[in-house]
Structure 1
Amino acid sequence: MSDNQNLLAEQRRALILDEVRRRGGVRVNELTRRLNVSDMTVRRDLDALARQGFVAKVHGGAVPVVEPSTHEPGFEAKSSLEPTAKEDIARAAAAMAVPGSAIALSGGTTTYALAHQLLDVPDLTVVTNSVRVADVFHTAQRPGSSGGPRPGAATVVLTGGVRTPSDSLVGPVADQAIASLHFDVLFLGVHGISVEAGLSTPNLAEAETNRRLVHSARRVVVVADHTKWGTVGLSSFARLEDVDTLVTDGGLSAETRAEMSEHIPGLLIAGEDDTV
C-alpha cells in the first residue's frame, strides 16, 4: 500500500478495501502505518466502507462482508457505488468503440455510464438487453432539421425478455435474439470477477443470456470497477480467458493487477497511461 499522505479519500478507501478482501481483514493500527495517516482518518474510512456495505467493523479493525451468492442489488442501489470509477472506466472504454461498428452492451450501471459516452460515436449499431442503456440512446435521438433521426445517430436493438432487478432483459426470448446476431465488440458489465469463478452473476437466467452475448462477440471487453474483484455470484458464465480486455480503475493493488494479467491479455487501468 502507498504511504502517500495526499491520497484522495476515494483512493485511500479503495486501497483499504482491496487489502481487506485480499487478507480477509485488517487492523486500524496496520492501516495507519501503511497509509501514513491518523487513526481518526482510518476509522472514518472504515465507517464509510461499512455504510456502503463493503466491510463489517470489528474491534480494532474490519473484515469483508460476504454477501449470499444469490443476492442481486437493484439498479438504483448499485448506481450510488463507485460513481467516479465508473465514469473513468466509461470514458476509457468508449475510446475503444469504432464508428460504424456493431457493438453490444450488457446490463449494469457501468455500461449505463458507458452508453452516455458512446453518444458521440457515429453510426453505431447497438444491441443491448438493458432497458436503461436503450433509454440513453432513445433520449438522445433528437430529430434533425429534416425531422428525421439525428445524423450519425446509433441504431439500437433492444432484446426482449424478463426484467431483472438490475433492469436487464434475460431469458429465452433474449437468448434467441442474441444467438442470431454477431457483434464486433461486447462491452460487458459483471457482478463479480475472480480467478476461480471467472465472471459470475447471482441471476441464473442472466448468466445464460450473458453466455450468449459472449459467444456472439468477436471481442469481449469487461467494464468493472475494483470492487467487483473477488466477488462471486451464484452462476459463472465465462472464464477470465474468454475476456480480451478488462477496463477497470486504479483501486486494484499491484498484486491483483499482476494476477489478472496472467489470465486476461489486455488490462486497461482507467485514468492511467500504462496498460499491463
Structure 2
Amino acid sequence: MGDNQNLLAEQRRALILDEVRRRGGVRVNELTRKLNVSDMTVRRDLDALARQGAVEKVHGGAVPVAEATTHEPGFEAKSTLELSAKEDIARAAARMAAPGSAIALAGGTTVFALAQQLVEVPDLTVVTNSVRVADVFHSAQRSMTAVGPAARPGAATVVLTGGVRTPSDTLVGPVADAAIRSLHFDVLFIGVHGISAKAGLSTPNLAESETNRHFVRSARRVVVLADHTKWGTVGLSSFAALEEVDALVTDAGLPAPARGEISERLPELVVAGPSGEVIGG
C-alpha cells in the first residue's frame, strides 16, 4: 500500500477493507506498517468499519463479515468501498455513452461515479431511479447556469422515476416499474450487488430486483459496472442472466480465471486501469 500517512480517513478505511476482502483477514501490526500510521489510528479505523458492518473485529485484527443474501448496505457505507476501482470503471464506461443518446442509469455508487463523468456529454436524455444520480446532473446544470446566460449548451434532460426509496437511495416498486416499462433506452448502465456465472446479476432487495428487470427489458444494450469484489457474490434475488448482458466494465483486480470465464459468456469485457484506460479483457 505504500506511504499512506496523509490519506483521508475514508480513503484509508477503503484500503483496509480491500485488504481484508482480498486476503481474508488482516492484523493490526501489518496495517500500521503498510499504512504508516499509528496502532491507535488502525484500531479506530477497524472500529469504524465494524460499526458499518463491513468487517468483524477479532483479536489482533479483522476478518470479512459473512453477509446474508438479504443484507443491503446503505449508500454511504457502499460509497467508501473500492473507491479507486469505481473511478476507473466510471471513466471507461463514460466512453460508451454517445452524445444525443437516451440512456438509463440505475442505482448504486459505481453508477453514481459514472454520472459525474457524463455531465459533459452533450444532449443526453437520462432516465434514472437514483436520487443521487439525478442530483449530480441537476447540480451541474445549476452551477453552469449560475455563471450567466451562456450556460453550457446540450445539457442533459433528466427524468427521475417515482417509487419507494431503498437504503441505496434508489426508487423502486410499481410506480418506478410502470415508468420504466413505457420507455426505451439505447444503453442501460447498471451496478450490481453481485454477479456470478450461475446466479447472473443479483440484489438483496426484492423490489429493486423487479425494477431492474424492467430496466434490462427496456434497453437495447445492457452495460454492467462491477468492481472485482462483486464477482462470485450472490444476493437474494436474480434479475438478469449473464446472457442478457452486452458488456461488463470492471477493474484490474479481477483475477485472470474470472476474466476467462466472463469472456466466454459475454460479448464484451472491459477491464479498466487507472484514469479509465482499457488494459485488457
Same-fold call, TM cutoff 0.5: yes
Counterparts of 2:16 and 2:80, CA distance in 1? 18
Q: Secondary structure at the match of 1:218?
A: strand
Partner of 1:200: 202
How far is 1:231 from its partner? 1.4
Partner of 2:122: 122
RMSD after superposition: 3.2
Partner of 2:278: 273
1:45-124 superposed matches below 5 A: 51=49, 64-124=64-124
Deviation string for 1:69-122 (max 9, x for gaps)?
111111111111111111111000001110000000000111111001001110
Q: Secondary structure at the match of 1:269?
A: strand
Counterparts of 2:16 and 2:79, CA distance in 1? 21
Counterparts of 2:279 and 2:147, CA distance in 1? 43
Do structure 1's residue 181 and structure 2's residue 183 form an aligned pair? yes
Partner of 1:215: 217
Counterparts of 2:54 and 2:148, CA distance in 1? 51
Counterparts of 1:145 and 1:11, CA distance in 2? 38
Counterparts of 2:235 and 2:33, CA distance in 1? 29
Give the structure-2-normalised TM-score.
0.79
> Could you say if the C-alpha distance between residues 63 and 259 of structure 1 is closer, same or farther in structure 2, counting changes exceeding 3 Å?
farther
Q: Is the 8 A contact 2:17 2:81 kept in 1?
A: no
Counterparts of 1:214 and 1:269, CA distance in 2? 22
Where does the alignment leave 5 or more consecutive residues of structure 1 unmatched?
Answer: 21-25, 29-38
> Could you say if the C-alpha distance between residues 273 and 12 of structure 1 is closer, same or farther in structure 2, counting changes exceeding 3 Å?
farther
The code of the aligned residue for 2:136 comes to: V
Q: Secondary structure at the match of 2:176?
A: helix
How far is 1:252 from its partner? 1.1
Q: Is the 8 A contact 2:16 2:31 kept in 1?
A: no
Equivalent residues, number:
257
The code of the aligned residue for 1:180 comes to: S
194-203 or 263-272: bigger deviation: 263-272
The code of the aligned residue for 2:134 comes to: A
Sequence identity (%): 67
Counterparts of 2:19 and 2:168, CA distance in 1? 27
Give the structure-1-normalised TM-score.
0.80
